[in-house]
Structures are given as structure tokens and as C-alpha cells.
Amino acid sequence: MIERYREFLPISPATPIISLGEGSTPLIYSRRLSERIGRGCDVFVKNEGVNPTGSFKDRGMTVAVSKAMERGTRALICASTGNTSASAAAYAARAGISCVVILPAGKIATGKLLQAFAYGAKIVAVNGNFDDALRIVRELGETGDFTIVNSINPDRIAGQKTAAFEIVDELGDAPDFHLLPVGNAGNITAYWAGYREYFARERSTKLPSMLGFQAAGAAPIFHDYIIDKPETIASAIRIGNPASWKQARAAIVESRGAIDVVSDEKILAAQSWLAQHEGIFVEPASAASIAGVFKWCDSDDAAYSFQKIPEGSRIVCTVTGHGLKDPDVIIRRMKELKPVAATMTDVRRAIGM
Ligand code: F0G
């Protein structure tokens, strides 16, 4: 990915490139989403779940870890709701350095915690939430023993903006609307920086409106106050005091976009809908952008009139992480599967057709 966009990244000939083949993810035209939205809109899904560790974090991590190596770092550190730690652990392994991850105890989706173990990170679970973990990481970062690879590291943002470049390169211009989930607010900051940079270099003729979606129980930017005990099924975006709060606000205001909320129920419904209508299986946090496009465009949601997304708009929804990372809700459904006798009759009865 770094090679593709080298001229836009803080990379010099002296930077050792630490890569796992991230980026160049599919931008999938969704016929069924476009049909459901109607009114001549075209909806595309940018599937970041197919990155090497299964989330968009790898775009930022390749740049952050390459720069850390250039500066002679021996150890990385991050706080995480799961995906940043999976990515940091993988890129640290690739670079041959150590990685410490500070996680809110009991709040990390199974697949993500498993990744941190598999890649050999030093894992510390703290009795607190993500915001507590990030506070500790900031303090440890000041000792000079570690490089922080959370999105407060500008190299992470620089890497993540390449997703916006890819979208413009593929569509031939920027979309009219870009929807994405918002947690610590690094990604919305990165996309907006990417779109602005490409526009300034005349690679696009317009800028999209950025629409960010927070989970209803973890929506500090929407409410404009810190949430002490954020709660949502979408554990990746269970954050009460986002680090890039100000930058996210700026992106929304400058792009004439908005920040909005989606309920856990709508998030899970959107996750199932996307898997079952398009074959794209994403984690609950990622489905916030799909729940968002439904909320803004579905005619049966009276509070959100048609006017907000005009006819014929080109809409991109980023889905940020792979569904296999966070299987707990679906595992509950799997437990209902009861075996039947291995005979034609019993199997036909079980199929019901
Ligand atoms: N979607 C997923 C799957 C995420 O893991 C995250 C953030 C977001 C969306 C929100 O992105 O924070 O840039 O606004 N995960 C971080 C982590 C916090 O630790 O993995 P954001």
C-alpha cells in the first residue's frame, strides 16, 4: 500500500517498509443496497475487512510501524477495543519488535483477543474501559520506552487516508456521501484528510459529505459530552471520550456532513442484512455505516426525510472489520442447531423443502 501512494505518505528512502500486503481493498457496487435506497442512488461498500488482520487498522499500522522502525523503536504500545491491538501485534511480529497491548478486561471480541495472543503480543487487561486504557498508554508513551500506535500517532492517520484515495481512483471522482462508523474518530479524520488532499491535487472535482455513525449508547460526539460508561454490542466503537473528537467535528462541519446514532438493534439487523443480501460479513461496529444508510434513506423512517440524501447520489459505506472477529452474537444462534439422523427422510424434513 505504501508503494502505491508513496508520494502522499511521510516515507523517505531511509524508511524500512513493514508491510503485510494491506490496502487495495474491494469497492463493491451493491445492487441490493442501491435498490433498497432507491431514487437512482448508487451505493458502494468499501470492504476493509479483507485487510491482512481483518480491519482497516492495517493501513495506518504499516505506516506507523515503518516510521517507528526508521526511528529505531524497540517496542510498540497501544490501547484497543481489539482491532488496533490485533494489527499492532501482527506488524510488530513482522518487524521483529515487541508489542504491548492494554485492553479493557472482558470487553474484547473473541477473534480479536485471539489474534493478539496468536501474534505474540504482551497483553495486559485492565479493569476499566477503552478510555482508561488509552490514558495509561499516553502516560507510558511519555517514558520514551514505547512508540504509541493508536490513532493519536499521526502516521496512523496518514496511512488510513489512502482508503479515500483508492475510492476516488476507482470511481473517477469523490462520492457525494461517505458513511462510516465512528469510535475514537481517527478514521473519519483520516478519510476527510485523504479526500481534501486529493481534491487539492485536482484528482477529484468535489468533496463528499462525511456522515459518521456512533452506537446509541456510546455517542459522545453526537451528544457533545463525554460518556463515562459507554455501552453497545458493537464493542469496537464502545468509546466515551474519542481522541480525535475535534478533528471529527471539523470534518463534519467542513464537509457539510453529520454525526448521527444507530441503535444496537439496527446495527445487528444491518449486519445480518448485508451478510444475507450481499455476502459481505462484517462485525457489528462496521454495520453501523449500513444501519446509517438505512436510517437516512429508508422511507419508513419518518424522522429522516428523503431530502437529506438527494436523488442520484453516489454513496460509499465503509465496513471496517471482518465478521469472524466478533462472532459472539451469532454463536448464540448456532447453538440452536440440533443434529438429525443421517437418513434422506430426516434430512429432507430438516431442510423443510
Ligand atoms: N470499526 C471498527 C471495526 C473498529 O475497530 C473501530 C475502532 C472503528 C470502526 C472506529 O474507528 O476509532 O477510527 O473512529 N477501533 C479501535 C481499536 C478503537 O482499538 O481497534 P475510529
Q: Please give the pLDDT value at position 262.
A: 97
* Ligand 1 and 80: CB distance under 6 A: yes
* Ligand 1 and 318: CB distance under 6 A: no
- Name the residue of 184, 191, 249, 252 whose CB sits within 8 Å of the most ligand 1 atoms, as the mutation to test its pocket: 184
- For ligand 1, the distance from its centroid to the CA atom of residue 213, given in whole angstroms, is 12
Chain Cα centroid distance, residue 198: 21
- Low-confidence spans in the chain with pLDDT less than 50: 306-307
* Ligand 1 and 323: CB distance under 6 A: no
In DSSP terms, which residues pair with 179 in a beta bridge?
Answer: 211, 317
Residue type at 98 in one-letter notation: S
* Ligand 1 and 175: CB distance under 6 A: no
Q: How far apart are CA 297 and CA 294, in angstroms?
A: 5
Closest protein CA for atom 12 of ligand 1: 184
DSSP 16-80: PP--SS-----EEE-HHHHHHH-TT-EEEEEEGGGSTTSBTHHHHHHHHHHHHHHTT--EEEEE-
Q: How far apart are CA 37 and CA 115, in angstroms?
A: 36
The x, y and z cell numbers of residue 322, run together, are 471482518
Q: Please give the pLDDT value at position 304.
A: 55
Question: pLDDT tens digits for 80-112?
Answer: 999 999 999 999 999 999 999 999 999 999 999
| Helical (H) or strand (E) element with 261 | strand 258-262
* Ligand 1 and 320: CB distance under 6 A: yes
- For ligand 1, the distance from its centroid to the CA atom of residue 72, given in whole angstroms, is 27
Measured from the Cα of 79, ligand 1's closest atom is 19
* Ligand 1 and 183: CB distance under 6 A: yes
Measured from the Cα of 78, ligand 1's closest atom is 19
Q: Please give the pLDDT value at position 124.
A: 98
Measured from the Cα of 325, ligand 1's closest atom is 3
* Ligand 1 and 283: CB distance under 6 A: yes
- Name the residue of 45, 48, 55 whose CB sits within 8 Å of the most ligand 1 atoms, as the mutation to test its pocket: 55
- For ligand 1, the distance from its centroid to the CA atom of residue 133, given in whole angstroms, is 14
- For ligand 1, the distance from its centroid to the CA atom of residue 64, given in whole angstroms, is 16
CA dihedral 121, 127, 132, 138 (to 10 degrees): -40
Q: Please give the pLDDT value at position 51.
A: 98
Measured from the Cα of 212, ligand 1's closest atom is 14
